[in-house]
A and B are shown apart, each in its own frame.
Chain A
Amino acid sequence: MELTFYVASAIAIIATIMVITNYNMIHALLYLVVSFLAVAVVFFTLGAPFMAALEVIIYAGAIVVLIIFVIMMLNLTNEDVQQERTWLRPKTWIGPALLSLVLLGELAYLVIAEDMPTINNQPVDARQVGLALYGPYLLGVQLCGMLLMAGIVGAYHLGRQKKKVVHRFLERSEI
């Protein structure tokens, strides 16, 4: 079980590094799916099987498919990959990367310096999560409903393309 956790963690970190260093967007998304699946395995070993299922269904399923559909609609070509290569030069990425790694080092020091106990493995199953979700956190569920409603309305409003009416002399756009 512990070996599973460490192997899945290594796969998640390597896949995420491949995501952020890849020039081709579709390849990066495939690595992103691998990363999410590895994090789902980590959830499973940590005793959260319901969350592992949700991670696979929503992150690796819905969100990645949505991004792939948008990339297909944008109709990207090989030139965009080349352009991405010109945008990502060592001069641009080395400064922010070093500063962020310093922050990560500080975080790791703070986490390790604290004497933390090992995780007592007691799986929290879906029943307990459901009881907590619809008991003390009922207001949060309602707020999530409002957030999703706002997301739907916003995506519909922003994603609507304006219809173009082309006259012989003047071109104007109508909603």
Chain B
Amino acid sequence: MTNIPMEAGLLLAGILFTLGLISVLIRRNIIFMLISVEIMLNAAGLAFIVAATRWAQPDGQVMFIFILTMAAAEVSVGLALILQLHHQLKTLDSDAANKMFG
């Protein structure tokens, strides 16, 4: 039916992961950093799905479900931390949180 080369899927995952990595490195806004981590996790899951399709086994998809669970737990805790940071420092600058006072 379809013959998509495996390189194409892995390259897509690599490009998305690199974009997320660039965004983590260049952004100072802490919400954008959290979004970028989501992009990177999504790209890792995409690589697992490509591998699962290549061997027609469900193991890769099971691993994607685990990644999904981890991303959901991570974003909830991260957003709670962002709320606390904004409540205490009145800014979203990640450099402002370099001193661990109060």
Q: Is A165 an interface residue (CB 8 A)?
A: no
Given the known interface contacts A5-B2, A46-B49, the answer about A54 and B68 at a Cβ–Cβ threshold of 8 Å is yes
A17, B82: Cα distance in complex, Å: 24
Given the known interface contacts A71-B31, A88-B26, the answer about A9 and B73 at a Cβ–Cβ threshold of 8 Å is no
Chain B interface mostly: helix
> Is there contact, CB below 8 Å, between B38 and A42?
no
Kindly provide the distance from the CB of A120 to the nearest chain B CB, expressed in whole angstroms: 7
Chain B residues near A5 (CB-CB < 8 A): 2, 4, 8
Chain A interface mostly: helix
Give the nearest-CB partner of B53 in chain A.
A46
Q: Which residues of B contact A (CB under 8 A)?
A: 1-12, 14-16, 18-23, 25-29, 31-32, 34-36, 38-39, 42, 46, 49-50, 52-54, 56-59, 61-62, 64-66, 68-77, 79-84, 86-87, 92-93
Q: Which residues of A contact B (CB under 8 A)?
A: 1-2, 5-6, 9, 12-13, 16-17, 19-20, 25, 28-29, 32, 35-36, 39, 42-43, 45-48, 50-51, 54-55, 58-59, 62-63, 66-67, 70-71, 73-74, 80, 84, 87-88, 92-93, 96-97, 100-101, 103-104, 107-108, 111-112, 116-122, 124, 128-129, 131-133, 137, 140, 144, 147-148, 150-152, 154-159, 161
> Is there contact, CB below 8 Å, between A158 and B12?
no
Give the nearest-CB partner of A137 in chain B.
B62
What are 8 residue pairs bridging A and B, where the CB atoms are less than 8 Å apart in the complex? Answer: A19-B35, A42-B9, A70-B79, A70-B82, A88-B26, A93-B26, A121-B2, A140-B66
> Is there contact, CB below 8 Å, between A63 and B38?
yes
Given the known interface contacts A45-B4, A159-B80, the answer about A151 and B22 at a Cβ–Cβ threshold of 8 Å is no
A99, B32: Cα distance in complex, Å: 20
> Is there contact, CB below 8 Å, between A120 and B56?
yes
Q: Which of B1, B7, B26, B32 touches A28 (beta carbons < 8 Å)?
A: B32
> Is there contact, CB below 8 Å, between A151 and B42?
no
Given the known interface contacts A9-B8, A111-B11, A147-B70, the answer about A122 and B82 at a Cβ–Cβ threshold of 8 Å is no
> Is there contact, CB below 8 Å, between B29 and A84?
yes
CB < 8 Å A-B pair total: 230
Given the known interface contacts A51-B61, A59-B38, the answer about A100 and B8 at a Cβ–Cβ threshold of 8 Å is no
Chain A residues near B22 (CB-CB < 8 A): 20, 93, 96-97, 100-101
Q: Which of B26, B52, B75 touches A48 (beta carbons < 8 Å)?
A: B52
